[in-house]
Amino acid sequence: MSNMKLCELFDGIDSTLEFPHHLATDSRDVIPGGAFVALEGEKTDGHKYIPQAIENGAGLLIVRKGKAPENVSVPIIELDNPERDLAATASRKLKAHNLHDIIAITGSVGKTTTRAALQKVLSPHFVLHAPERSFNTLIGCTATIMAMPLETEIVILEFGANKPGEIKELTEYFPPTIAILTAVAPVHLEGFGSVEGVLREKLEIVHSTSITKIIYNHDNEYLAEAFKYVVKSMGVGEWRDSDFVLAVDKSEYTLPALSFVLAHRESQEIARFTANIWGKHNAMPLALAASVGHELGISLQESADALADFQALEGRGRVFILDNGHKFLVDDAYNANPASMRASLETFCKVVCAGKAAVLGEMRELGENSAKFHAELAPLLEEIDGVILVGEIWREAFPDASEYIFVKDWQEALKAVNEITSSREIQGVLVKGSHSIGLENVVRELCS
pLDDT single digits (tens) 103-141:
999 999 899 999 999 999 999 999 999 998 788 999 999
pLDDT number for residue 253: 59
Span 59-68, mean pLDDT? 93
Residue 251: what pLDDT?
A: 58
The domains found in the chain, sorted by start residue, are: 6-80 (3.40.1390.10), 86-307 (3.40.1190.10), 318-447 (3.90.190.20)
Confidence of residue 2 (pLDDT cuts 50, 70, 90): very low
What pLDDT does residue 116 have? 96
Residue 124 identity: P
Of the ranges 225-239, 294-308, 423-437, which is most confident?
Answer: 294-308
Confidence of residue 3 (pLDDT cuts 50, 70, 90): very low
Average pLDDT across the chain, whole number: 91
Q: Which whole-number Å values give the CA distances from 95 to 22, 58, 98, 134, in the listed order? A: 20, 28, 8, 23
Phi, psi at residue 387, to the nearest 5°? Answer: -120, 125
Give residue-wise pLDDT tens across range 379-404: 999 999 999 999 999 999 999 999 99
Per-residue pLDDT tens for 134-171? 889 999 999 999 889 989 999 999 999 989 999 999 99
pLDDT of residue 304: 98
pTM of the model as a whole: 0.86
Tens digit of each residue's pLDDT (9 = 90 or more) over 297-347:
999 999 999 999 998 888 988 889 988 878 999 999 998 999 899 999 999
pLDDT > 70? residue 15: no
111-122 and 283-295 helices, crossing angle to 10°:
40
pLDDT tens digits, one per residue of 348-374: 998 888 899 999 999 998 988 999 999
**Predicted confidence band at 4 (pLDDT cuts at 50, 70, 90)?**
very low
